[in-house]
A and B are shown apart, each in its own frame.
Chain A
Amino acid sequence: MENIIAVGDIKKYYRIAKRGKGMIASLKYLFNRSYEIKKAVDAVSFSIKRGEIVGFIGPNGAGKSTTIKILSGILYPDAGDVKIKGYIPYKQRKQYVKHIGVVFGQKTQLNWDLPLIESFELMKFIYRIPQEKYEKNLSLFSKLLEMEDFINQPVRQLSLGQRMRGDIVAALLHSPEIVFLDEPTIGLDVVAKEKIREFIRYINEKEQTTILFTTHDMQDIEKVCDRLIIIDKGKKIYDGSIDQIKNKYANSKTIEILLENDEKETQTFDISVTPMNTVMENLFAQKNIKDISICEPEIDGIIRDIYEGRLVLDDPAAEAD
């Protein structure tokens, strides 16, 4: 299928005024500022096909939000180009944003004092959603997200999970073809997260909606996404499937051993250094073992290793097919 999102070498640098400590530095700051350049996004490229769900992850400050803002037309990139569904987001804002839905998990777009339904009504008028389609979407979404009970309650009385579901519905009522979700599961409990994941999968399957979403929860990624893009310090460091990253980088296996005397022990091996055969031989030779289990590496652990620099990925240029 065709690429619906094409991002080519985008860069976004921020100028941050440097500020010294003390009186003299403060005075100097007033008249003569020196700036530091922060490379929020540094030559990132990727493309996404219609109907894909892509997880977009990276440590805090990696440039995820900045990238999402550029894709949604909120920010101009300093260099590079973006083409989404034939539009240049930051140049054709009004025509373009009809086709997208954006959720900023940390900032609500709902009116705090009023029931959800009133914010939804505003969306109906803003996006010129025909009454019939509006009612159809609203009843479907509120059923899927189990919102019937609280749709008439003021938003300030809702739990975070309820509010987030409201925000997602508000962003999707106009059936956008492309959806950007910036941390839609942040701070939610397991049940609320699961509901949101199911919903995301549903609209993706049913409507062929293209979805890019950022999260810090690897469960989100594993359960929802086909593909993973990792960025760090403004650069793309991985782009591919989740299985691929697991197979490729997960050489370390953890073995849990239950000894005869019911003591537990865990050992971690790198099977590229010590093959499983040798590991087992050594274990059986040294200990009286009652039970043994081999844990597959969690994607969590791999990602943590990548963030902390213990695992260096291949050249991203080679990675991007």
Chain B
Amino acid sequence: MGEIRVVLQSLKMSIHTRMQYRVDSLVATLAVFIRESANIIAIYLALLKFDRINDWNVNEMLFLYSILFLTYAFVVSLFADLRQFSDTIREGRFDRLLVRPRSLLLQLILNNADLIASAGHGTLGLLLFVISAGRVGIHWDFVTVLYYIGAIIGGILIQGGMFIVFSSLCFYFVETGSIRDIFYWNMRKFAGYPISIYHKLIQGILIYVVPFAFVNYFPAQYLLRKEDMANYPAIYIYIAPFVGIIVYAAAYLFWRVSVRRYYSTGN
């Protein structure tokens, strides 16, 4: 119970902070929306020419992409403080958390939540979902809805786990921004397309190293059943929602071990 109240207060403070700059928040949300839409427009233009990519049509592609946006909308607020974690350490804000009688991650969750990015990604994700979900032949019943929700939660946990791992690395190296950029942002760009179009190495990375494939590709496969799924073990589409729990748990353990290395910036 107490944990929830801490997190809710963090959320409330993030909302109040944004409310102070209403116009700015609105404009910034729009900017995020437009920036992210550029990727979608690129896909759309490509498909005007090719019609299908590895047998995926435009609506299926949009559906695949919508999962990325929807999950990220949650991740970017829940784990906002982990995005620039090296700054948190460098500025001594981490010391603050250590002298409070609470789990460190609990204090970070929803702290300085990036509600603008959430609104931008969330709106775009919802829009793409609404456009595509009815046109890709998914029979929405209790099981598929449940699976879909599970997959979204799993996707949030997978990406949250990645953020935790990148933040943990800050305890070993002061600056880890470039590792994060390579592994998170570049891989996320790959995940916008069906992974079967890539070289085996990239596929391997997307499945086993930074498991974006379990965020959107395998869940989408459960619902769409495209032919390129034959390249992968069928079990992957069923375990997708649980991969999140495993990744998050492993990331949490790595974080626990890494925090012990923290020796502070010394003032």
Contact = CB atoms under 8 A, between A and B. Distances in A.
Interface string B9-31: 11011001100100000000000
Nearest to A98: B101
Nearest to A72: B99
Contacts of B16: 113-114, 118
Given A107-B92, A107-B93, A114-B13, A125 B99 contact: no
Contact of B20 (A106, A113, A125, A127): A113
B102 A94 contact: yes
A126 B266 contact: no
Interface residues of B, number: 26
Contacts of A8: none
B264 A75 contact: yes
Nearest to B91: A107
Prevailing SS type, chain A contact patch: mixed
B17 A114 contact: yes
- Most A CB within 10 A of own CB, among B96, B103, B107, B266: B266
A65 B237 CA distance: 53
Contacts of A93: 98
A106 to B, nearest CB: 8
A140 interface: no
A109 B107 CA distance: 13
B20 A154 contact: yes
A116 to B, nearest CB: 12
Given A65-B267, A113-B20, A127-B101, A107 B6 contact: no
What 3 pairs between A and B have smallest CB-CB spacing? A65-B267, A98-B101, A125-B5
Interface of B: 2, 5-6, 9-10, 12-13, 16-17, 20, 91-93, 95-96, 98-103, 107, 263-264, 266-267
Given A107-B92, A107-B96, A118-B12, 7 more contacts: A14-B266, A69-B95, A75-B264, A106-B267, A111-B17, A113-B17, A127-B100
Interface of A: 14, 40, 65-66, 69, 72-76, 93-95, 97-98, 100, 102, 104, 106-107, 109, 111, 113-114, 118-119, 121-122, 125-128, 154
